[in-house]
Copies of this chain bind each other. A is one copy, B any other.
Amino acid sequence: MKIYLAGPDVFLPDAIEIGRRKAAICERHGLTGLYPLDNSIDLAASDASRHIFLGNEAMMEGADAIIANLTPFRGPGADAGTVYELGYMAGRGKLCLGYCNDPAIYADRTRRFTTVSEQDGRLVDAQGLTVEDFGLPDNLMMIHALELHGGPLVLPRERPADVWHDLSAFENCVRQAAARLATVS
């Protein structure tokens, strides 16, 4: 089983090393991890971003499943590129798994970035925009997509000291994918 390894991990200073660690965990469980930075791209080319997109899309097409890292990135919620990929894989009917190294609910995460108050019975941010308040860790579309197209979002009991390098929740997803493979074959 080939697993597309989606996440803002590609934006870390040690992006390549974390990809290697994730692929090694997959291998230990009899799976093959496909990591976006495995594609060789000429970053100096004027259309580099288009090549990255095409490489990622081809990789997703070749994968049986996705494990999405939905740890909050530059705001209260998950990285947009990762979320796009999760949606794409759900649309393609592939197995969707995900984890998030911050177990806080979305309303509490939002409070770290803006003032949240109650107005006419709904939670709103400083701009007056509704803050989702269903007790979920992120936007309901991703949370329920995982439940219905794969398995529930994996969360640690407590936020690990290093949210970008702790791979326990990731390995939990890999174990789930390996168990599915065993059931199917």
> A84 touching B81 by the CB < 8 A rule?
no
Q: Is the interface of A mostly helix, strand, loop or mixed?
A: helix
Contacts of A138 in B (CB 8 A): 80
Interface residues of A in 50-103 (CB under 8 A from B): 50, 52-54, 56-57, 73-81, 83-92
The distance in angstroms between the C-alpha atoms of A79 and B127, with both chains bound, is 14
Residue on B nearest A91 in the bound complex, by CB? B91
How many residues of A sit at the interface, in one of the four size bands? Answer: 35 or more
> B81 touching A80 by the CB < 8 A rule?
no
Question: Does A141 count as interface, using CB distance less than 8 angstroms?
Answer: yes
Q: Number of copies of this chain in the oligomer?
A: 2
> A13 touching B92 by the CB < 8 A rule?
no
Q: A74-B76, A75-B76 given as contacts; is B52 within 8 A of A140 (CB)?
A: yes
Q: Chain A 112-149, CB within 8 Å of chain B: the 1/0 string?
A: 01100001100011001110101010111111110110
The contact sample of 13 A-B pairs, CB cut-off 8 A, is A12-B128, A48-B134, A49-B136, A49-B143, A53-B148, A54-B148, A74-B75, A74-B113, A74-B129, A75-B77, A81-B140, A87-B87, A91-B92
Residues of A within 8 A of B (CB): 8, 10-13, 15, 48-50, 52-54, 56-57, 73-81, 83-92, 110, 113-114, 119-120, 124-125, 128-130, 132, 134, 136, 138-145, 147-148
